[in-house]
Amino acid sequence: MKLDEPYTVTYDGIYAVCDRTNRYVDIIERSTCYGGSAWTMHHYASSPLISDIRSAGNMIRYCCAVGTKELELEASVAAAGIESVKVTADEVEITYAGLGGGGVGATVCRAQSQGVLGYNISESGGGRAAKGTITVPRLERLLIGIDDTDNKEQGATWSLAHNIAANLDHPDTRYISHALVQLFPAPAKTQNCVSTVLEFGCADRSSKQVLLEGIYSALEKYSVSNETGMVVLDDFDASHLKDYSHECRTKILTKQYALETARSNNVEIMMSGNGIIGAIAALPWYARPNESVKIE
């Protein structure tokens, strides 16, 4: 056996999704070693810049405030964390710090991961304290809700949505997450009454437009339903749609009510079949696939 990098475990991707004011950033890491990431989540929770940590599958998400807070590292207790997040017009600089093995993760592991544009790292390993700064593209969140692409004979919305999204994954339009959202079992359902939300991180307005055109075109081609709904929310946060989603998950709603909700909540309707009712309800469940599959 020959290990070229015996102490380096890279990530499949590191992304930074920002709000429009550059006050908050979701740092999203696709882990290749969940054991290491579980240790990281536990210790990074002590970082003052981090307000929330969430994991789903191999994806770890750190919701951070932009700024700098020097860490008080303590072995075995708070041995690593995020010390600084800086945002420019099109890039995000993230500074990690750590002790021992946590310092290895803070430096070479992240520096050599996919999606990293540049880095500045110190020596790490053994008993050292180490720091590493990586630069990644600045992205903005784009959420797409989809429902009713199938019929009684064929199709499945969740799988079609995923395959379209995976096909459109690109450095300027990163396919970040997918969630199935259980709705109230309406009589018009195909079978399980589930909608889908796709989350992308996009570099700019032009890339968003190209992405949406790609999804729309694919749905037109592959949907087997005449009632397909496709809606879009171009925003960092979708919590203002939670009340509507709760309603859709607990009772039958009308299409007119869905249209009114879209108009008053900056939701763009791109395909206006009855599927918009469930498509809108899916939007606030991005990054929460373990919770969204349950009946309320």
Residue-wise pLDDT for 132-190, tens only, equals: 999 999 999 999 999 999 877 777 899 999 999 999 999 999 999 999 999 998 665 55
Out of 138, 169, 200, pick the residue that ends a domain. 138
- Asked whether residue 23 falls in the same domain as residue 67, the answer is yes
Closest by CA to 118, choosing from 134, 97, 137, is 134
User: What's the pLDDT at 101?
Assistant: 84
Res 104 pLDDT > 90: no
How confident is the model over 112-139, as a mean pLDDT?
91
Out of 87, 114, 138, pick the residue that ends a domain. 138
* Average model confidence (pLDDT) across the chain: 94
Out of 92, 107, 138, pick the residue that ends a domain. 138
- Asked whether residue 132 falls in the same domain as residue 156, the answer is no
CA torsion, points 15, 80, 124, 33, in degrees to nearest 10? Answer: -60
- Asked whether residue 64 falls in the same domain as residue 181, the answer is no
User: What's the pLDDT at 187?
Assistant: 64
Q: Who contacts 52 (Cβ-Cβ below 8 Å, separation ≥6)?
A: 61, 62, 63
pLDDT confidence bin for 113, thresholds 50/70/90:
very high
- Asked whether residue 107 falls in the same domain as residue 184, the answer is no
- Residue 56, domain member (yes or no): yes
Q: Give, in order, the Cα–Cα distances in Å from 33 to each of 12, 80, 176, 216.
A: 10, 17, 18, 35
State both tokens at 64: 């951070």
Global pTM? 0.95
Lowest mean pLDDT among 12-16, 150-154, 292-296: 150-154
Query: Percent of the chain, pLDDT > 70?
Result: 97
The whole domain housing 91 covers 13-138
- Asked whether residue 20 falls in the same domain as residue 40, the answer is yes
User: What's the pLDDT at 283?
Assistant: 98
Spatial distance between the Cα atoms of 56 and 199, rounded to a whole number of angstroms = 14
- Residue 86, domain member (yes or no): yes
- Residue 283, domain member (yes or no): yes
pLDDT in tens, 229-262: 999 999 999 999 999 999 999 999 999 999 999 9
- Asked whether residue 153 falls in the same domain as residue 134, the answer is no
- Residue 2, domain member (yes or no): no
Q: Tell me, what CATH number does 166's domain have?
A: 3.30.70.2200
- Asked whether residue 56 falls in the same domain as residue 161, the answer is no
- Asked whether residue 158 falls in the same domain as residue 268, the answer is yes
User: What's the pLDDT at 192?
Assistant: 64
Angle between helices 205-222 and 157-167 (to 10 degrees): 140
| Beta strand residue intervals within 114-267, DSSP E | 118-121, 129-147, 173-182, 194-202, 229-233
- Asked whether residue 95 falls in the same domain as residue 171, the answer is no
Res 287 pLDDT > 80: yes
Lowest mean pLDDT among 7-16, 91-100, 118-127, 136-145: 118-127
User: What's the pLDDT at 188?
Assistant: 59
User: What's the pLDDT at 150?
Assistant: 86
- Residue 59, domain member (yes or no): yes
How confident is the model over 1-17, as a mean pLDDT?
94
pLDDT confidence bin for 191, thresholds 50/70/90:
low
User: What's the pLDDT at 220?
Assistant: 97
User: 3-class DSSP state for residue 181?
Assistant: strand
- Residue 166, domain member (yes or no): yes
- Residue 5, domain member (yes or no): no
Q: How many structural domains does the chain have?
A: 2
| Residue 87 contacts residue 22 (beta carbons within 8 Å) | yes
What is the CB-side half-sphere exposure of residue 172 using CA atoms within 13 A? Answer: 10
How confident is the model over 211-220, as a mean pLDDT?
98
| Residue with more model confidence, 193 or 278 | 278
- Asked whether residue 122 falls in the same domain as residue 246, the answer is no
How confident is the model over 109-138, as a mean pLDDT?
91
- Asked whether residue 152 falls in the same domain as residue 286, the answer is yes
Q: Using CB atoms within 10 A of its CB, is residue 32 exposed (0-12), middle (13-18) or buried (19+)?
A: middle
User: What's the pLDDT at 127?
Assistant: 79
- Asked whether residue 155 falls in the same domain as residue 286, the answer is yes
- Residue 235, domain member (yes or no): yes
